[in-house]
Structure 1
Amino acid sequence: MQMMARCIKLDKDCAKICYTAVTFMASNSAFAAQVCQLCADLCEACAQECEQHADHHDHCRMCAEACRRCAEECRRMMSMAA
């Protein structure tokens, strides 16, 4: 379990920033693009970490895929806001 500690921490952080990004986008905040950038960066970091465990843990593979999709969507939203 200790080897998964960083992965679990990143998963939790990723979930928090994704929720925050959604709320900023939904409220049409002037800072939504900045929050989306942070979300995309954190999702990429989470995906990279999860991919290290994906061969042994299917949930890590699924998490990495979801994080990559979220990062892509955040970047798309940022480009629309610009």
Structure 2
Amino acid sequence: METMQKHEEHVRICFDCAAACEHCATACLKEEHLHMMKECIRLCRDCADFCKMCASLTARESQFMAPFMTLCAEVCDACAAECEKHEDEHCQRCAEACRRCAEDCRRMSVTG
């Protein structure tokens, strides 16, 4: 089976999470209560970067993909926990995407 076909769903989940995080960070920057969103913005930016890297490592079947998936799951969990503190719709959607990505990263880090 082609590498991309084998890992296509995981790559998509990672990129979907990255997009949700980028959207959330941008939306948070527009909030009136910006000072309350600083940690959310920081974690969303970190998470987006981790998810994009995780997707890339997975697509190329890097020898580092499994340990990186474990780390990516931790970052996704932290981002989800922060986003869940905020009632904004973009934060709630981001938290959902992060939880889904964390779960899939953990699954993939074991099954490859």
Q: Does TM, normalized by the shorter one, top 0.5?
A: yes
TM-score normalised to the size of structure 2?
0.69
User: 2:71 is matched with which residue?
Assistant: 38
Once residues 77 and 23 of structure 1 are traced to their aligned partners in structure 2, the CA distance between those partners, rounded to angstroms, is: 14
1:72 is matched with which residue: 91, 94, 103?
A: 103
TM-score normalised to the size of structure 1?
0.93
Identity, in percent, stands at: 51
Q: Superposition pairs for residues 1-82 of structure 1, below 5 Å?
A: 1-53=34-86, 55=87, 57-81=88-112
User: 2:19 is matched with which residue?
Assistant: none
Shift of 1:79: 1.3
Once the two structures are superposed, residues 11-52 of structure 1 have per-residue CA deviations (whole angstroms, 9 ceiling, x without a partner) of: 010000000001111111111011101100000000000000
The letter of the residue matching 2:60 is S
| Aligned alpha-carbon RMSD (Å) | 0.7
Unmatched runs of 5 consecutive residues or more in structure 2:
1-33
Greater radius of gyration (CA)? 2
Provide the aligned length of Structure 1 versus Structure 2.
79
